[in-house]
Amino acid sequence: MKIKNKRYCYSCDLKDDPKLISKYKKHHKEENIWPEITKSIKKAGVVSMEIYLTGNRLFMIMEVNSDFNAIRKNKINANNLKVQKWEKLMWNFQQKIPWAKEGEKWVKLDRIFKLK
C-alpha cells in the first residue's frame, strides 16, 4: 500500500522594502539557491516546495513524504553550518509575522476550507 504524501503550508513576512524583496526573490531563483540547501530540504523528506509572494507576505507550500518529521528537520538544520548561514542571510530580508512565537520564522497555516 502506497503512503500518501502530506501537504503543509506556512507563512512568513519580508521586510516591507522593495529593494530587499527584490534581493530575496533573486536569492530564490533556481540558479541562485545554494545546492546544500535544496539537498537538505530533499533529505528531510520534502518532495515538493513552492513559495509565493503577495506584497511582503510569503506563503510556502510543502509536500512531504512519510519520512518527514518537522522536529527532526529542525534539529538537523541546527547542526548544518551551511543551512544556518543561509537562514542568517534570509533573516536580513524576513521578519516574523505579528502572531509568531518567539524564535518562530515560518508559521504553519491551518486549513479552514477544502473544495470537494
pTM of the model: 0.89
Confidence band of 2 (pLDDT split at 50, 70, 90): low
DSSP bridge pairs for 5: none
Tell me the chain's radius of gyration from C-alpha atoms.
Answer: 15
C-alpha cell at 67: 519520512
* Domains of the chain: residue spans and CATH: 6-108 (3.30.70.100)
Question: Does residue 106 surpass a pLDDT of 70?
Answer: yes
Q: Give tens-digit pLDDT for 67-79.
A: 899 888 889 899 9
Q: What is the pLDDT of residues 11-53, one digit of tens each?
A: 999 999 999 999 999 999 999 999 999 999 999 999 999 999 9
Q: Distance of CA 104 to CAs 15, 26, 74, Å? A: 15, 24, 11
Placement of cell 502530506 in the chain: 6
